[in-house]
Each structure stands twice: as C-alpha cells, then as structure tokens.
Chain A
Amino acid sequence: MSVPSQSIKSGVPASNVPVLLTTSLSSYAIPAGPYMLPTDWRRTHLSTLVNKLINTSSTSQDDTSSSSSTTNASIPFDFIVDGQLLRTSLQDYIQSNGLTNESTLNIEYIRSTLPPTYVAAFEHDDWVASVDASKQGLFLTSSYDGSVRIFSSSDSKSAIHTFSSLKSSSANASLVDARWVPSRVVDLEQDQRASHSIVTAGMDGVVRMWKATLPESSQASSSFKPTAKRLWNGEFHSHPVSSLDVSNSPNSERSYLISSGWEGALAFWDATRSNQQGDGEEDDDGDEDDDQDDDEDDDDDGSDQEGGDRRRKRRKVKNGKRKKGSNPSKVKKPVLTMWHSSPPSSLLPSSTVPGANARVSRAIFEKIQGSSQDSKTPSQHHSGADRAWSAGWDGGVKGWDLESGGSNFASKTSDKVILCLDQMAPLSASSAPILVTGHMDRSVAIWDMRTDVSTIANHLTNVHKGPVSCIRSHPTSGYIFSTSSYDGSVKLWDTRSTKQSLFSLVGRGATKGEEEGEKEKVLCLDWSSDGQIIVSGGEDKAITVHRGSGIGRSD
C-alpha cells in the first residue's frame, strides 16, 4: 500500500486503526478488506488512498482507456463515519466517540463536493417570496411587492422582465409563489419567439397564469420589449395562497398545478389554457357521469397505464368548462379541492373561517423517476400529477391520490409546525417517497411515508438557529437537500450524514449583521435543474446565486 506519507508528520508515533472502506459508488469501488491506517490521518489522506486504490484496481482490471479520465484526475472523496462526515483526524474521531484503536471503523466514502461559491446577487425592490431556477439561465422570482421578475443569469444588474400581478395598487398585491410552467403546455400561438408560461400565486388567494414573451438571450434587450399576458385567474382560495407546484411530466402534454392556502385547502388545477373557461363546477372530481365523449384534445399518452384515467378526468374537466363556456371571463376553478386540515363544519368553498392551525405550508406533486428514454439525462426526475403531498402547520404530512379523486392515502403527524416540504429525488423508480420538512422549531425531519414504516420521522433538531423557512431537495441526487432559515443561512445536507451539514452557504449579507437574530431571513430557495446552482432569496430583497460543482454527482 503505497501511501504518501510525506504529509504525515514524522516523529509522531502514529498507531494504526483498522478501517473498512465501503462505497455506494460502483465506479469507484476498491478492494474490500480492512486497512490498517494511521490514526492521525485526515480526510485528504484517506481521499488520496482511495484514489490510489481506484487507479491500481482499474489498471489491473482492464487497461482500456475508457477510464483514463478518471485515473488521471484524482477525485476528492468525503468520508462518512457513523452518519457523520469525517472532518477531523481519525484519532480525534476515535477519541471523541469513545472508541479504541482496536475497533474497526466502517467508513463510507462519497464524492466530495466543493462548497458552492457565491456567484451573484440580483436585487429586488421588496422581499423575495419565491424563486424558480428550473429553467436554464433564468431565474423567476416573485416578490412581496406583487411583482414577478425574470432574471437572466448573465445579467445581474436588472431583471429581463418585470411585471406586476395586479394593476390596481391593492393592498393584497403580494405574491407568494411564481413557477415556470412547461412551455409546451401552453399552446404556442403564432409567436414562436421565446414564450414562457408562468403561474403565480398571491396573498389575495388567486392563482394566475401568465404568458410571458422574453427576448432571446442573443437579442438585444433594448430592441425587444418583453410582454406578459394574463391567461386566466384561478380563484378558489379564500385566504392567501402559501405555495404552488407544477407538474412537469415530460410524457404529458398537459401540466397541472397544485396550490395550497392558509385556510387549509389544496387546489388542483389544470394549467392548460382553454378558450372556454368556466367558473363553476369545480366539484366534478368524483363524478363518473360524462366520459369518453370528447377526444379532440387528447394526445396519445398511452405509454403509462394511468393515462386512461387521467384522460378521463381531463375530459371531465373539459366538459365542465365547456358547459359554462358562455362566460368569457378568464376565471378558472380548480379541478380538485382537498382539505389538508379538517375543514370547518360548514363546508363552503368561500368559507372564511378555517379550523385551527389550518394553514397548509406547502403542497407538492410527487416526484417520480424519469423514464429513461433520454439517455443523456437519465437521472432527471419530474413531478407527476398523480399524487401529491402536503404539509401544514398542524404538523401533518399527507399524501393525496389525485387520480382517484383526491383521496388521502397516507398521513403522518408530528407536533411540529411544518413550514416547508419537499420530496427527495427518488433513488430508483420503485423506491418509496422520502419527504423532508422544515419546522418552526429549527428542526428538519425526514419522513418515510410508507405506511408500514412505524417510525414517524427522523428529526434533525437545531439544524438552524431560526425556523427553517424553505427546504429543497437536489434535483438529481437522492441524498442531498438544502435548507434555508430565518437566521439567514442556507445549508446543504446529506441524508447519509445528518449530524452536520455538508456546507453552510454564506450569503451576500452575511457581513451585515453578525449578531444572532440580526441576519436577514432567507425565505426561498431553489436548485437549478442540473443541481449545481443554488438560488436563495428573502428579506435582503435579493436573490443570491451560489454555484457548486459536482454536487450530488453519483458517478
């Protein structure tokens, strides 16, 4: 075992400890067996050792040049011992955990990621309520001043496009969420220029669908005036909307929305624009009366089995809309409504009296493993519209089967006030959904929502110094998620090593207030679709972009 020992301080009599090195990364497997390693080794030594081993094993196995790139570049690894990243020397770890040199250490190594670095900040006029970075090179933000801003990653000075949700200066103008809607869903009209669909949700309880035309990145911004056109208003929520999610199944031509409101209701919307939009009959979810009469809009999406069901529902919706087609107003009603918390006794759609702790903090579509037809991005996941998850202030996490008319198929509760929710990217197609939630009491929980798992949640307490405002899972890796907090910090986590965070991102305003509680709250957070860029925004009236490399890379 040729180990570079020049960095080890000679003269210090280092005792050896048996170490078992394992990994889940098949391409970086090394011969198994315990290695006797000096106890004063640190992460870098171990990383060097693993690299050497990989090189020797790969060269011995096959001399083909397929892995030449990996052999040349040494790959940094991180080492997890007992759910904890090794940040000290082995000796210190052994001592702090009360172990002896005789005990064998089981160390799992993962690819190390460099901490993301600060890239840029994009100024806003008011607090940033949400950010969506799923579109390459564009950041969509909503702000409490009621404006939607679209930033190009290349230009940090000003937004490409800014439009206000409300023309009138109503007091309820604040926007809570703004999301990209897959553009193909919106029927592209004559203008083939870059046209984007955006859905917003605001404190007025209205979900709005917009069409925005943006200049191509190559075009000069001066010559082109971006526009935004409101397609429809979705009016259901009697209280402010707390979150919005968009399904982006690549197989479906249609896109769906789910929104959650403070009153405890979830609303399931069809994002598809249609000319005839009705305002009534939103309760056609469970009906089986009219079906199969209208196939005009149906595309063939028979690749999945549930396509038939979904089709039927869509038909239903269309029927409803068509019935009320006489009303030309652009008001839309949700396809489905669900009450996350027990609804008040007088179940009126316009009921203004919610139950206690009613607020749903977030509702999301379930992420499913992407179909592997596209080999380039095999690990790209998408949000299907079949099932949804919601979490609220009552501490409950619920799963909704939208296919079967919004029945609640899973439910777990805790005594925490859940402020945010996300689902980890599925590790495999068949893996059970794993949810992560952030709480008011500064903790994060990891939920295994299989019904036969008795443990409610794995709580990570005191992950932040303030309430966890937002939590987002990595788009590709099934282990990494990030949290933001009111204490102004953003942290990256690995579910395999939950005792400490991978990184803590220091934002732009970190130097502003060092004092505890003085930091400006981070309210929103998002990953770029490739999982290398983290965008966060909040009280500092800006979004901050951090770029990392190799985050969540599994190969």
Chain B
Amino acid sequence: MPPRAAKASSSSNPPSSFSSSSSSSSTQVKRKRNHVKPAETALLSQQPKGAFATKTAKGKARDASTRPAQKDALELIPESSVEGIQAPDDDDEEEEKSQGERNGGEEDGEEEEDQEEFPEIDTTQSDQEDEEENVDGGQDGDQDVEEEEEEEQDDDDDDDQDIMAELQDEEDGDEEGYNSSDIDNWDSEAEDERAEAFAARDDASDTSIEQELNRMVKRATEKPDESDRKTNLLGIDQRLAARAVADDKNPDGSSKGIFKRSEITGEMKRVYPEIEADYDSDSSTEDAPNRVGNVPMEWYDDLPHIGYDIDGRKIMRPAKGDELDRFLETVDGDGNAWYSAEDKLMGKDTKLTDEELDIIRRLQRAEIPDGEYDPYEPTIEWFTGKGMEMVTPLTGRPEPKRRFVPSKWEHKKIMKIVRAIRQGRIVPRAPNTSKPQFFNIWSDADQERADHPMHMPAPKLPLPGHAESYNPPAEYLFNEEETKEWKEAEPEDRKTNFLPAKYSALRLVPGYQNFVQERFERCLDLYLAPRMRRKRLDLTDPESLIPKLPSPRELRPFPTTTGLIYRHPSEVRVRCLSIDPKGNWLVTGAEDGKVRMWDLAIGRCTATWDINEGIAKSERGPVYGIEWCPNKNYSLFAATTSGRVTLVAPPQCSTTSVTATSTPSFIYATSAYQPAVDSNAAETATTGNKAPVKWTRPTESERKQGVAIHISLHNNSGTPKQISWHSKGDYFSTVCPEATGGSSSVLIHQVTKHRSQAPFKKASKGSSVQKIVFHPTKPHIFVATQRYVRVYDLTAQSLVKTLITGLKWISSIDVHPGGDNIIIGSYDKRLAWFDIDLSNRPYKTMRYHSKAIRSVSYHKSYPLFVSTSDDGTAQVFHGTVYNDFSKNPLIVPLKVLRGHEIRQALGVLDSKWHPNQPWLFTAGADGQVRLWTP
C-alpha cells in the first residue's frame, strides 16, 4: 500500500531532533487550528462548560487539530489531581494514541480497514457501524459534516462508555479534511516520537509489549469498574468530566431519539421520546386552554365565551354565581372559597394549591417565594479550591505585540516621573506628611500657611505673663499708689492695659470687659497695619561680618589722655592753632583777636599779639586762621583776622639776636619790603586789580614784638578764613570764602617777594572755595569747594582732577604727607578718605560724629589722623598708607577723645598734630587747647 510505504519510509527516516519536529508540528497545528475554528466554536457552544476533555464523536475534526495542546493539558492536569494512578494511565493513553495514530495513518487511505480492525473488539459497535456503512456507503465523501455527525452518533451509541473507543474514533476522524501531506508529516513526526518512546520502553523490558496488549484486550472486554473511580479514563476527575450519559441521550442530556423509518414517508427519521413536563419545563403554554393570548379579558365581557382553545373552539364562560352565592360560598362552603382566586383567563375561581398558598405566604413575609430554595446551602467548589486549579488559556490568540514591546507612553510617563525625581519635585520615600490628629493650639508656630513669597505672618502677641494671671503672685499686684497712677494715666500711657487682680478661684473671675474691644483692635492691626518683610541674614557667625582690623593695642602710640591744658583767659573761644615745625611752640588764635604763643611742654603762654591792632574796633574780628611757616630755619607764622593777614616772627623763638626785629625770621619776612607807597603803586601797576592786596609795615611797637608785616585785603575780597603754607615756606595762600570779588577768594602770597596773586581768574561757579591745601611734594593745590575738591597743577595752570566727595558741605581737608591720600571732613558729619590715584570718589566715607566735623588732620610722621567735631570729641584713627599700590589704606578707629565742653553748640574747632610726637592738640570752644598724649 503506497500510503503505508510512505508512512514506513517516513518512519524509517532517521528521526529528527525532537524539538525541531515538535516545533514544525506546532506550526502546522496552528494553521490547522485556524482552519477548523468555526466547527470548534460550534462544538464548544454545545459542550457543557469545563468538559472539554471529554471527547465526543463530534469533536473528531477538532480533536485532531487540538491534539497536541490537548496532550499538554492532559499531561498537566493529572499531576496535581491523582498521582498514584497517573502513570499507568499515561502509559495507556500513549498506547492508545499511538495505536490510534497508526490507525489514522492507515485510515487515510482506507477507511474500511480502519473499521474492520475494531469490530473484533467491540462487537456491538461494529454492527451499527456496519449498518452505517451500509447506509452511507452509497453516499459521497463530500458530505463530510453529515457523515461525521452520523458517525458521531454512531459512536455515541456504540461507545458503551468506553472512552478509549471514543478516542479512537476521534483519532479516526482527525485526519479528515486535511491534506495528506500534512498528515504525513504530522504522522511521521508523531510516529517517530512514539517509536522512540516505544523503543525506550523496549529497552526497559522485553515483555512490555506483551503486557500492553494484554491490558488492551482486557480493557476492551471488561467493563471498567467505575464505582470506586474518581477519575475517568482520561484521568479527569469525574466531577469535572462530563458525566456519563445514557445510551439514548446526548451528553448534554437531550435525548438522541430513535432513528427509524417513518411510517408515513418511509424515510428514515429520528423519533424523539415524548417530553414529560417536569418542574423545569415550561408549562405555561400547556396549561392554559384559552389561547387568546395576553389580551385584556374585558374584551370578552359581553360575549358568552371567554376565548378559544388551541383548536379554535370557543371556550364558554363558566357559570358564575352572583355575589350572594359567593358570600354563601365563603360562609357555608367547604372553605375552599378562602383559598381560591379568580382565573381571569378561564373566568372561574380556582383553588390555590398548597404550594401556591405557601408562595403567597412567603411573599407576604418577604421571603424567598420558593420554599425549596435553600439560600444557605453549602457551597460546592466545582472549579476552585484545592486541587481544582486549571491553567488554561482563555483565548488562543497570539500574544499581541504590545505585550512584549515596551510601551512608548509608559516610557514617557516613567520618564516624566524620573525627571521630577531628579529635579526634586517628587521626593521618593518622602516622609509621610499626615495631618496630626490633634493640633497644638498653644504652639508658638503659627498655622502653616501656603509657602508663597508674599505671605507674611501676622505679628505675634506677647504671651500672657504672671501679671495676667487670675491669681498672680503678690508682687505683681498694684499697690495703691500704682493703682492711682494707673487710673490717672491716659490709656495710651499705661504700661499695661489692665489692673492685675487676684481671685481665689477661677470661677470668681468676672468677664473681661475690654475683650471685644481688644479683639477688634487686634483685627484692625492685622487688617490695616502694613507689614514689611525683612530679609534676615542667615548668619552663623556674626563676628565674621566685622572686618579684620588690628587691635588698637598693636597700633600704639596714639594719644589717649590729656597731658596738658592751655587755658585761655576768660575762656575765650579758640578758633585755630598751629605748632611750629620744630615742635616747641604752639600758637593759638582766639575769638578775641589775639594770638598767643605757648611753651608747648609746660603750657605757659609766653607771648600774646593782638593782630587786630590798628583796625577800627567795629571791624575787628577773631583770629580765623593761623599757621606756622613750615620752613624749619625760620620761626614765622601767619595769622588772619578780618581783612588782614599778619606775619609774625616771634622773638622768643630765636636766641641769637637781641632785638625782635633782628631775628632771622623777621628779616626773612621783611627783606623784600619796599616803602609803602612804592609797593602799593607797583602792586596795582603790575597786577592791576586782580590782587587787591597791600603789604604794609606794622608800627614800631608791633615790630618790636615781632610782627613782621601786615597784608591788607581790600574790602570786597572778604575775610581770609584759612591759611595754608606751601611746604617750602615761601608761598602761602589765603582763602576768603565770602569774597565778593570772585577771583580774589583764593590768594597766593609770596613772602620773599612780598607779592600776592590770584591764581584763579574766574570765580568758581556756584559755590565758594572753602579750603585750600598744597600738595606736599608736587606743585599741586587742592581746592575744596562746597561739594568738590579740585586738584590744580600750578605750574601747568591746569585742572588735574575733580574729586566728587558726595559730601554736602566740606569743612576741612588735609593731605597725607605722602600726597596721594586726602581726608575731607564735612559739616554733615561725615569724613571721606580719598585715594587720589584710585578714584575720584571716596575710598571710604565714615560717619561717626554726631555733629559737624570741624577739622581733620594727618600726622606728619605717624600713621595717625584725627577728626574733631562739634560734638566735643576728637576721634583718632590709625591710617596706614602702604607703598604697595595694590594695598588699600588701612583705617582703624583708635580712640575717642573727650574732654572739651560744648559751648554754644560748638565743640572742638581745630586740631593739629605735633610734628614728631604722637601728640594731638585740639582747640575747643571752651577756651582750652588740650594736648593729648599717649
């Protein structure tokens, strides 16, 4: 037989690897499965749920396709259910399968043979099959479905609860509808497997085949004992498996009917048994003879009949008694009237059965109408519970792609979270911020508020103290005086807005009368009072804010205490002072217009000059400025009063000469003098009216006291307020802030030539010149106006620089001996330090005086400077100027010198340093000049 040969050949083929064959088979199976699907679903719908393992004859086609899967299922399920019996069952099954397959392989070619092999085993079946065969013999193979069904039925009939036979049937039917090649392939593979399995068994024992056959025979001939079996042949639990049905019934319980020849047509037909109406059956239609349907019965009220029966005959209205009869019935009747109801359809009263009454009663009691129903019956776990687990795919659809391809949207969502975590918007495992169960209403912290920048917490009220207590300690209670004082005071002036009172018990405390008022005011405060948020510096170490300055201890020596006091008679205000360049003599200019010279070391006034001599009394003025000539070879000073500058060469400073007019200083100051008329004429001739200055010779008596020369300024040039010498001692300048002539506000006088000139042709715009200082080394001059300091180059006749002080009114200026730094004091209490090379703005502006600064002064050799003020203090500073240009000057406050009294809002008016000692001289409005020493 060619198919056999083919099969043999295929089987004789060297078996390919198990995995490859199985995989190839599985792909085929898949294809087939798709192919058979409609039938499968149809079958499934017919089968009882969960009983798919029970193979009916109908499932032949399907079984073939589902076989491998089924096999898996079969192998899987028993493991958990019954283990002891499983192994032999498995073996059996395998055997059967292999047999079936072998049979199937043959079947393809010849069905007849297939059928013939088994009748020997199952005689009863063979009869029918034969019969079938006969019946179907003439029919064409194209009526597959029909044939199958018939076969199925045959099988069912013949099965005789032998599932093995069924399986064989199934396997028989498997091959139908498939390409032979497919089957070949499949078969061959399966064959191989089985051959292998069998070979393996062969290896195990030689007698196995014999035993196997015996068992098969035994099983086919003997009725299996089902009594103690809990699993069916397939190893499926019988509770799960479809129940064995009677021969004349389908597995779903419906009757198969009898296939017999019709008496009428003579055709074969299936005759079903009469249906006995059961409780389950729907009997509603059967009972009602009236077949009018569900129409209102009022329609038949006027008619003698009440409807029609199934045959169309009228159903006559039954006789019905009247009301009296009915009443009598209820009274005299057998009592059924109480238990009857009108059947509208039939138009008569029907006695309710006990069951119906029971239902009514139950309905009345709102119980479940069915008395049989036990709502509490124990649950039978059919499909769940221990041992009932089933792993079955709900659907055979292939895994969708989305199952194994990462989701883009999930990825996006996750990345969003990841980004949020990275940015800190989401804190993973953040502490659970659960609301507290109880709120601490006495806590200091206010209620948490939304954290937004504009939120400003309300100012807190002070907590109540002991005085607020209802039972305060005695010391908090007011005595009579205090009570009186409290009562008399205005409410705004009271320290507390209540009177502390003592009560022995809290319940005795009366109501607080101001409560509402206070609440109201508090609300107003919160509501109306503007609040400001202050940025608080978060400082761990406040010391770090303080600049690192050396301790004043390390910067000694500097003046600290009063060493000497130079008292002026009648406490006349001392306006100015100056110390001679050798440091021996002090001259002071006082309000009374007198210049006094003091022995600096012992504080004795050695000489007095009245520089107003020769001036009319009304025009006399105080000594505005005084300054020693810085040339150490001469002892000469210049003092100014109203309209006049006087040069004095004190004879006390000279030892060699006998007379005051023969001292070298005097000669130096007067050597260039020419007769008055001539000099005056020459003056006007050469300089015109620019410098309205007259150098005049003092009187003889003055000359004897050492007064060398007077320099008279014309009236319009105002009062020279300040004198500043050039460092060489030849030139000095005077400043007249109130000069009306404009150009003559600044004058430069030359001692050796007795000449004066006005260096600035035009008056400074707006503000008058306040002070002038010469640069110590360069030919520069610093001109301080009210707000600015201008640096002029005298040789180049040009403006070098303008310093913007930022001060409102400059009062004083001094130049560091190095020439690169200046300090400027102002009437608006500030002191500005300029590093000229650095900037035209102040390096540092300090405000520490409480009143206007009157004078500032650098020490010539020590790194000290001082500022004096109308607040009566002189403040000493350390100010180091480094040669290194990259280093800023170091300014350290050292000492506040107090001692001068304030008279008429004037404090310390002038200050000068000793030229070579760390001694400070201050001139006060209290008529004292003080020497401050370390």
Chain A residues at the B interface, C-beta cutoff of 8 Å:
127, 144, 168, 170-172, 174, 203-206, 237-240, 262, 350, 352-354, 356-359, 393, 415, 417, 419, 440-442, 466-467, 469, 486, 517, 521, 523, 539
Q: Taking the complex as formed, is B284 at the interface, i.e. its CB lies under 8 A from any CB of chain A?
A: no
Q: Taking the complex as formed, is B59 at the interface, i.e. its CB lies under 8 A from any CB of chain A?
A: no
Q: How far is the CA of A415 from the CA of B656 in the complex (A)?
A: 32
Q: 5 A-B pairs, CB-CB below 8 angstroms?
A: A168-B658, A238-B655, A356-B861, A356-B915, A466-B563
Docked-complex contact B651 and A239, CB < 8 angstroms: no
The smallest beta-carbon distance between A127 and chain B, in angstroms, is 6
Q: Taking the complex as formed, is B607 at the interface, i.e. its CB lies under 8 A from any CB of chain A?
A: yes
A359 contact from B563, B564, B584, B706, Cβ within 8 A:
B584
Docked-complex contact B656 and A350, CB < 8 angstroms: yes
In this complex, how many residues of chain B approach chain A with their Cβ under 8 Å: the count is: 35
Q: Do A171 and B656 contact each other (CB < 8 Å), given the known contacts A415-B557, A486-B563, A486-B603?
A: no
Instruction: Determine the chain B residues whose CB is within 8 A of the CB of A357 once the complex forms.
Output: 583, 916-917
Q: Do A441 and B933 contact each other (CB < 8 Å), given the known contacts A174-B606, A517-B562?
A: yes
Please classify the interface of chain B as helix (H, G, I), strand (E, B), loop, or mixed, using the class held by over half of its residues.
loop
Docked-complex contact B602 and A469, CB < 8 angstroms: yes
Q: How far is the CA of A240 from the CA of B915 in the complex (A)?
A: 19
Complex interface residues of chain B between 554 and 569 (CB less than 8 A to chain A): 557, 561-565
Docked-complex contact B917 and A203, CB < 8 angstroms: no
- Output the nearest chain A residue to B650 by Cβ-Cβ distance: A171
Docked-complex contact B604 and A144, CB < 8 angstroms: yes
Q: Taking the complex as formed, is B864 at the interface, i.e. its CB lies under 8 A from any CB of chain A?
A: no
Complex interface residues of chain B between 567 and 587 (CB less than 8 A to chain A): 582-584
Q: 9 smallest A-B Cβ distances: which pairs?
A: A205-B655, A356-B916, A171-B651, A353-B632, A171-B652, A204-B655, A441-B934, A357-B916, A467-B563
- Output the nearest chain B residue to A206 by Cβ-Cβ distance: B655
B655 contact from A240, A419, A441, Cβ within 8 A:
A240
Instruction: Determine the chain A residues whose CB is within 8 A of the CB of B660 once the complex forms.
Output: 171
Instruction: Determine the chain B residues whose CB is within 8 A of the CB of A205 once the complex forms.
Output: 655-656
Docked-complex contact B651 and A170, CB < 8 angstroms: yes
- Output the nearest chain B residue to A236 by Cβ-Cβ distance: B655
Docked-complex contact B603 and A521, CB < 8 angstroms: yes
Chain B residues at the A interface, C-beta cutoff of 8 Å:
557, 561-565, 582-584, 601-604, 606-607, 632-633, 650-652, 654-656, 658-660, 664, 705-706, 861, 915-917, 933-934
Docked-complex contact B633 and A352, CB < 8 angstroms: yes
Instruction: Determine the chain B residues whose CB is within 8 A of the CB of A238 once the complex forms.
Output: 655-656
Q: How far is the CA of A517 from the CA of B659 in the complex (A)?
A: 37
- Output the nearest chain B residue to A166 by Cβ-Cβ distance: B658
Q: How far is the CA of A354 from the CA of B653 in the complex (A)?
A: 13
Docked-complex contact B563 and A172, CB < 8 angstroms: no
Instruction: Determine the chain B residues whose CB is within 8 A of the CB of A523 once the complex forms.
Output: 602
Q: Do A171 and B584 contact each other (CB < 8 Å), given the known contacts A415-B557, A466-B563?
A: no
- Output the nearest chain B residue to A466 by Cβ-Cβ distance: B563
Docked-complex contact B655 and A239, CB < 8 angstroms: yes
Instruction: Determine the chain A residues whose CB is within 8 A of the CB of B603 once the complex forms.
Output: 486, 521, 539
Docked-complex contact B604 and A127, CB < 8 angstroms: yes
- Output the nearest chain B residue to A144 by Cβ-Cβ distance: B604
Instruction: Determine the chain B residues whose CB is within 8 A of the CB of A442 once the complex forms.
Output: 561
Instruction: Determine the chain A residues whose CB is within 8 A of the CB of B652 once the complex forms.
Output: 171-172, 203
Q: How far is the CA of A238 from the CA of B915 in the complex (A)?
A: 20
Q: How far is the CA of A203 from the CA of B706 in the complex (A)?
A: 16
Q: How far is the CA of A357 from the CA of B915 in the complex (A)?
A: 9
The smallest beta-carbon distance between B301 and chain A, in angstroms, is 137
Docked-complex contact B565 and A517, CB < 8 angstroms: yes
Docked-complex contact A172 and B655, CB < 8 angstroms: yes
Q: How far is the CA of A466 from the CA of B563 in the complex (A)?
A: 6
Docked-complex contact A440 and B607, CB < 8 angstroms: no
Q: How far is the CA of A353 from the CA of B915 in the complex (A)?
A: 14
- Output the nearest chain A residue to B581 by Cβ-Cβ distance: A353
Docked-complex contact A239 and B563, CB < 8 angstroms: no
Q: How far is the CA of A358 from the CA of B603 in the complex (A)?
A: 19
The smallest beta-carbon distance between A542 and chain B, in angstroms, is 15
A467 contact from B564, B606, B658, B706, Cβ within 8 A:
B564
Q: How far is the CA of A174 from the CA of B602 in the complex (A)?
A: 13
Docked-complex contact A521 and B602, CB < 8 angstroms: yes
The smallest beta-carbon distance between B277 and chain A, in angstroms, is 129
Please classify the interface of chain A as helix (H, G, I), strand (E, B), loop, or mixed, using the class held by over half of its residues.
loop
Instruction: Determine the chain A residues whose CB is within 8 A of the CB of B915 once the complex forms.
Output: 356
Q: How far is the CA of A437 from the CA of B561 in the complex (A)?
A: 20
Q: How far is the CA of A168 from the CA of B704 in the complex (A)?
A: 12
Instruction: Determine the chain B residues whose CB is within 8 A of the CB of A350 once the complex forms.
Output: 656
The smallest beta-carbon distance between B521 and chain A, in angstroms, is 55
The smallest beta-carbon distance between A197 and chain B, in angstroms, is 23
- Output the nearest chain A residue to B915 by Cβ-Cβ distance: A356
Docked-complex contact B564 and A486, CB < 8 angstroms: yes
- Output the nearest chain B residue to A442 by Cβ-Cβ distance: B561
Instruction: Determine the chain B residues whose CB is within 8 A of the CB of A521 once the complex forms.
Output: 564, 602-603
Instruction: Determine the chain A residues whose CB is within 8 A of the CB of B933 once the complex forms.
Output: 417, 440-441, 467
Instruction: Determine the chain A residues whose CB is within 8 A of the CB of B561 once the complex forms.
Output: 442
The smallest beta-carbon distance between A512 and chain B, in angstroms, is 13
Q: How far is the CA of A203 from the CA of B565 in the complex (A)?
A: 21
Knowing that A171-B705, A417-B933, A539-B604 touch, tell me 6 more A-B residue pairs with CB under 8 angstroms.
A127-B604, A203-B606, A262-B582, A350-B656, A359-B601, A415-B557
Q: Do A440 and B563 contact each other (CB < 8 Å), given the known contacts A171-B651, A239-B655?
A: yes
The smallest beta-carbon distance between A331 and chain B, in angstroms, is 13
The smallest beta-carbon distance between B722 and chain A, in angstroms, is 27
Instruction: Determine the chain A residues whose CB is within 8 A of the CB of B563 once the complex forms.
Output: 440-441, 466-467, 486
Instruction: Determine the chain B residues whose CB is within 8 A of the CB of A419 once the complex forms.
Output: 601
- Output the nearest chain A residue to B706 by Cβ-Cβ distance: A171
Instruction: Determine the chain A residues whose CB is within 8 A of the CB of B659 once the complex forms.
Output: 170
Instruction: Determine the chain A residues whose CB is within 8 A of the CB of B582 once the complex forms.
Output: 262, 353-354, 358
- Output the nearest chain A residue to B934 by Cβ-Cβ distance: A441
The smallest beta-carbon distance between B933 and chain A, in angstroms, is 5
- Output the nearest chain B residue to A467 by Cβ-Cβ distance: B563
Q: How far is the CA of A262 from the CA of B632 in the complex (A)?
A: 14
Q: How far is the CA of A354 from the CA of B581 in the complex (A)?
A: 11
Q: Do A417 and B655 contact each other (CB < 8 Å), given the known contacts A171-B660, A440-B933?
A: no
Docked-complex contact A239 and B916, CB < 8 angstroms: no
- Output the nearest chain A residue to B930 by Cβ-Cβ distance: A517
Of B557, B562, B602, B664, most A-chain CB atoms within 10 Å: B602
Instruction: Determine the chain A residues whose CB is within 8 A of the CB of B705 once the complex forms.
Output: 171
Q: Do A417 and B917 contact each other (CB < 8 Å), given the known contacts A171-B650, A467-B564?
A: yes
- Output the nearest chain B residue to A129 by Cβ-Cβ distance: B602
- Output the nearest chain B residue to A202 by Cβ-Cβ distance: B655
Q: How far is the CA of A350 from the CA of B657 in the complex (A)?
A: 12
Q: How far is the CA of A172 from the CA of B656 in the complex (A)?
A: 10
Instruction: Determine the chain A residues whose CB is within 8 A of the CB of B564 once the complex forms.
Output: 466-467, 486, 521
The smallest beta-carbon distance between A124 and chain B, in angstroms, is 13
Instruction: Determine the chain B residues whose CB is within 8 A of the CB of A237 once the complex forms.
Output: 655
Q: How far is the CA of A156 from the CA of B915 in the complex (A)?
A: 43
Instruction: Determine the chain A residues whose CB is within 8 A of the CB of B633 once the complex forms.
Output: 352-353
Of A238, A239, A262, A467, most B-chain CB atoms within 10 Å: A467
Q: How far is the CA of A127 from the CA of B603 in the complex (A)?
A: 11
- Output the nearest chain B residue to A462 by Cβ-Cβ distance: B561
- Output the nearest chain A residue to B659 by Cβ-Cβ distance: A170
Instruction: Determine the chain B residues whose CB is within 8 A of the CB of A168 once the complex forms.
Output: 658
Docked-complex contact A393 and B604, CB < 8 angstroms: no
Q: How far is the CA of A206 from the CA of B582 in the complex (A)?
A: 20
- Output the nearest chain A residue to B664 by Cβ-Cβ distance: A352
Q: How far is the CA of A466 from the CA of B565 in the complex (A)?
A: 10
The smallest beta-carbon distance between B103 and chain A, in angstroms, is 127
The smallest beta-carbon distance between B919 and chain A, in angstroms, is 8
- Output the nearest chain B residue to A393 by Cβ-Cβ distance: B917
The smallest beta-carbon distance between A144 and chain B, in angstroms, is 6
Instruction: Determine the chain A residues whose CB is within 8 A of the CB of B584 once the complex forms.
Output: 239-240, 262, 359
Q: How far is the CA of A469 from the CA of B602 in the complex (A)?
A: 8
Instruction: Determine the chain B residues whose CB is within 8 A of the CB of A203 once the complex forms.
Output: 606, 652, 655
Docked-complex contact B655 and A171, CB < 8 angstroms: no
Q: How far is the CA of A192 from the CA of B602 in the complex (A)?
A: 40
Q: How far is the CA of A365 from the CA of B835 in the complex (A)?
A: 52
